[in-house]
Amino acid sequence: MRLVRDIRTMQELSQKLRCEGNTIGFVPTMGYFHQGHLSLIRIARQKADVVVVSIFVNPFQFGPKEDFKSYPRDLDRDMKMALKEKVDFIFHPSEQEMYPKNYSTYVEVTELDKYLCGASRPGHFKGVVTVCTKLFNIIRPHFAVFGQKDAQQAFIIKRLVRDLNLNMEIIMGPIIREDDGLAMSSRNEYLNQEQREQAVCLYKSLKLAESLIKDQGERDPQRIINQMEGLINRLASQSEIDYISIVDTQNLKPVDRIQGELLIALAVWIGKARLIDNIILTTPEKADKTDIKE
Amino acid sequence: MRLVRDIRTMQELSQKLRCEGNTIGFVPTMGYFHQGHLSLIRIARQKADVVVVSIFVNPFQFGPKEDFKSYPRDLDRDMKMALKEKVDFIFHPSEQEMYPKNYSTYVEVTELDKYLCGASRPGHFKGVVTVCTKLFNIIRPHFAVFGQKDAQQAFIIKRLVRDLNLNMEIIMGPIIREDDGLAMSSRNEYLNQEQREQAVCLYKSLKLAESLIKDQGERDPQRIINQMEGLINRLASQSEIDYISIVDTQNLKPVDRIQGELLIALAVWIGKARLIDNIILTTPEKADKTDIKE
């Protein structure tokens, strides 16, 4: 495994590997690996000849009051974990390398960034999309793996790749959870023991929504959201809900009726950790038809 | 010479040519070639193994009241001219191919788009930068040639390439002029004979500015602009000045003193043609020193 810190070297390596006929798989990360990251790396390792993992805590995707400075970092630990997963290259540029003096270019995916985290973190996705465009141009991978945990991000990056003709595939890896269902996240580090116990409310509210739709045939998104909200408030005294949304996976707009492929997503503050989670589910066509007849 | 209309084919061709060790030179155009375009193609032909010329009248870089519909087009004529210049590939995609349904990604270079044409054509450079990012991703050239006639465009694209790590060079080709000095442009087509004669006022005003600076030691930008304005109004009864600006080539901001490398640029309406022209000139260091002593 090789650590690469400068852009020029990484570009030359990728170009050479590509022209030698290697398939390059890429996993962009902000480091501080947990099982979620490792699962994405394993997907890349299975499909690619060469696996590149980037570790870069991107300042532009954090808001002015967000946790850029306190975001956990541990390169040595990450390197050891990556080595075990047979990663070929860690790309770990400095801020100065990525954003030189007079940096002034930004990439934006409109429409898909209006709701969910896009609404509560203005500028966040512009930062994500810009850094991903740069990383894709540097690494020129055949595919990149993104976690479903940041589902809106994955959908936005898919659109970016299509629109800017980036000639690569985006693969969405499943959410990896702790035993009690809490989605793995570097930000879980911020939780004390009581908060950690309460944090399971996100997952439980998603399971409740799934059950309301699949078992009880509920078709009104607002009634589902209300019940999710009620459950979170009962389970977690230290919680503050940022949003709970049910959106169409095609355009990430809130639906007024449960049908088609849906993303149910939420962000909840537990103490100083803003946690997110989601499920993607398809309402069977026949449920809708039955429903129309009623 | 081969005409390519679809993105996938162009990407596969470029990737293959690149991996075979060819240098790819690229000239992006909106077609309707004149000697200005041909001069850029010749620069590419001299430096590259493979020359790709794109012809695409990009709707996104025209304002709602601008001349997108009437912009002159003649693919057959362009193809014949390109063949004579030994172009290898013409890339000529449809609008639908470039901007499919739900297109939603935009690239923007901030700061450099505030003055000059950026001020009078809002959204124009966002359209240019977005389409160039797409074309660069499709063609993956080693270098692209842009004309100095759209100097602000060339400076903005240089910044784009640096900022997004596009791993290519931007070459600026000189302005090609008619015998009387009028900069060649597809929009010169819009001029009737009288307007065509008056159109030389742009070039003459630039020569006046040059002479004021170089021969007479003028160091006040506003006095130079006033004299240029006066000359244009005297020479061209059908003219309407959009802007005359003297900016620093580093940041494209208007200067309050003539020093360093400067871009003197103007846009003037002659009838229904909006014409642009410019010169880049370096004020010799010693002129400044003399000046300071005064």
The pLDDT value recorded for residue B289 is 46
Write the DSSP assignment of B90-131 as a string of letters.
EE---HHHHS-TT--EEEEE-STTSSTHHHHSTTHHHHHHHH
Q: If DSSP codes are grouped into helix, strand and coil, which group holds residue B202?
A: helix
Residues of B in contact with A138 (CB under 8 A): 165, 167
Q: How far apart are CA B274 and CA B188, in angstroms?
A: 9
- How many angstroms away from the CA of A72 is the closest CA of chain B? 27
Residues A225 and A106 grouped into a single domain: no
* Pairwise CB contact (< 8 Å): A108 & B108: yes
Q: CB distance from A104 to chain B under 8 Å?
A: yes
Q: Which whole number is the average pLDDT over B8-24?
A: 96
Is A179 among the domain residues?
no
With a cut of 60, say whether residue B285 has pLDDT above it: no
Nearest CA-CA partner of A2 in A77, A65, A70, A87: A87
Closest CA to A218 of A255, A174, A251, A267: A255
Strand pairing report for A89-91 and A50-55:
parallel
Whether the Cβ atoms of residue A266 and residue A277 lie closer than 8 Å to each other = yes
Is the model's pLDDT at B252 over the cut of 70? yes
Task: Tell me the nearest-neighbour CA distance from B21 into chain A, angstroms.
Answer: 9
The number of residues making up chain A comes to 294
Question: Is residue A287 over pLDDT 80?
Answer: no
| Residue A35 within any structural domain of the chain | yes
Does residue A116 share a domain with residue A29?
yes
At position B132, the amino acid (one-letter code) is C
**Do B221 and B199 share a structural domain?**
yes
Q: Decide if A252 touches B, using CB distance below 8 A.
A: no
Same domain for A22 and A136, yes or no, is yes
Structural domain including A126 reads 2-173
Total domains present in chain B: 2
Q: Examine the pLDDT at A293 and tell me if it is beyond 50.
A: no
pLDDT, tens digit, for every residue of B189-198? 999 999 999 9
| Interface size between A and B, measured as CB pairs under 8 A | 83
Q: What are phi and psi of A225, to 5 degrees?
A: -60, -40
User: Taking CB atoms and an 8 Å limit, are B103 and A133 in contact across chains?
Assistant: no
Q: Which of residues 23-82 of A touch B (CB under 8 A)?
A: none
Residues 183-222 of B with CB under 8 A from A: none
Q: Sheet with B89-91: list strands edge to edge.
A: B2-4, B89-91, B50-55, B24-29, B143-147, B169-173
Task: Read off the pLDDT of residues A197-256 as tens digits, 9 standing for 90 and up.
Answer: 999 999 999 999 999 999 999 999 999 999 999 999 999 999 999 999 999 999 999 999
Q: What are phi and psi of B221, to 5 degrees?
A: -60, -40
Contacts of B109 in chain A (CB under 8 A): 104-105
- Quick one: tokens of B23? 């240098």
Q: Does A102 touch chain B (CB under 8 A)?
A: yes
B106 and B214 both lie in a single domain: no
Window from A162-171, A274-283, A285-294 with minimum mean pLDDT: A285-294
B293, pLDDT greater than 50: no
Residue A279 predicted with pLDDT over 60: yes
Which residue do the tokens 């809490």 mark? A182
**A67 is a domain residue:** yes
- A contact test, residue of B105, B108, B162 with most A CBs within 10 A: B105
Q: What confidence tier does A10 reach under pLDDT thresholds 50, 70, 90?
A: very high
pTM: 0.93
Same domain, yes or no: B7 and B150? yes
For residue B106, which phi and psi values (nearest 5 degrees)?
-135, 145
Going by C-alpha positions, the residue among A124, A107, A119 that lies closest to residue A64 is A124
- The total of other beta-carbon atoms located within 10 Å of residue A73's CB is 13
Partner B contacted by A166 (CB < 8 A): yes
A 254-283 residues with CB below 8 A of B?
none
Q: Are both B245 and B209 inside the same structural domain?
A: yes
Has residue A61 got a pLDDT over 70?
Answer: yes
Contact between chains at B165 and A110 (C-beta distance less than 8 A): no
Of the candidates A138, A173, A208, which is a domain's last residue?
A173
How many Å lie between the alpha carbon of B50 and the closest alpha carbon of chain A? 17
- CATH number of the domain enclosing B208: 3.30.1300.10
The β-bridge partners of A170 are A144
DSSP class of residue B255?
Answer: P
The domain boundary residue, chosen from B173, B195, B228? B173
- Looking at the domain assignment, is residue A178 inside a domain? no
Q: Average pLDDT, whole number, for chain A?
A: 95
- Decide if A94 touches B, using CB distance below 8 A: no
8 A C-beta contact, residue B203 and residue B182: yes
Widest Cα–Cα separation across chain A = 64
Domain membership of residue B287 (yes or no) is: no
Indicate if A7 and A133 belong to the same structural domain. yes
Percentage of chain A beyond pLDDT 70 is: 97
Do residues B10 and B155 both lie within one domain? yes
% residues pLDDT > 90 (chain B): 93
pLDDT at A77: 97
Which tens digit of pLDDT belongs to each residue from B144-167? 999 999 999 999 999 999 999 999
Annotated catalytic residues of A are 37
CB B152 within 8 A of CB B267: no
Q: Which residues of B touch A106 (CB under 8 A)?
A: 107-108, 110
Confidence of residue A290 (pLDDT cuts 50, 70, 90): very low
Q: 């695409």: which residue's tokens?
A: B56
Contacts of B110 in chain A (CB under 8 A): 104-106
Question: How many other C-beta atoms can be found within 10 angstroms of the C-beta atom of residue B16?
Answer: 11
The verdict on residue B294 lying in a domain is no
Contact flag A134-B106 (C-beta cutoff 8 Å): no
* Per-residue pLDDT at A294: 39
Tokens 């001069």 locate to B39
Q: What percentage of chain A reaches a pLDDT higher than 90?
A: 93
The pLDDT of residue A192 is 97
Q: Tell me: pLDDT of B286 over 60.
A: no
CATH code assigned at A62: 3.40.50.620
Shared domain for B44 and B157, answered yes or no, is yes
Ramachandran category for residue A276: left, alpha or beta (phi over 0 → left; psi -120 to 50 → alpha): beta
- Residues B166 and B205 reside in one and the same domain: no
B154 min Cα distance to partner chain A (Å) = 14
Give the residue-averaged pLDDT of A189-199. 96
Looking at residue A283, its pLDDT comes to: 85
The answer as to whether B69 is a domain residue is yes
Kindly tell me if the per-residue pLDDT of B291 is higher than 60: no
Asked whether the beta carbons of residue B165 and residue A19 sit closer than 8 angstroms, the reply is: no
Which of B173, B204, B223 marks a domain boundary? Answer: B173
Contact A138/B165, CB-based, under 8 Å? yes
Contact A7 B251 (CB under 8 A): no
DSSP 8-state assignment for residue A12: H
Q: Domain for residue B61, yes or no?
A: yes
Shared domain for B66 and B103, answered yes or no, is: yes
Distance between B32 CA and the closest CA of chain A, angstroms? 26
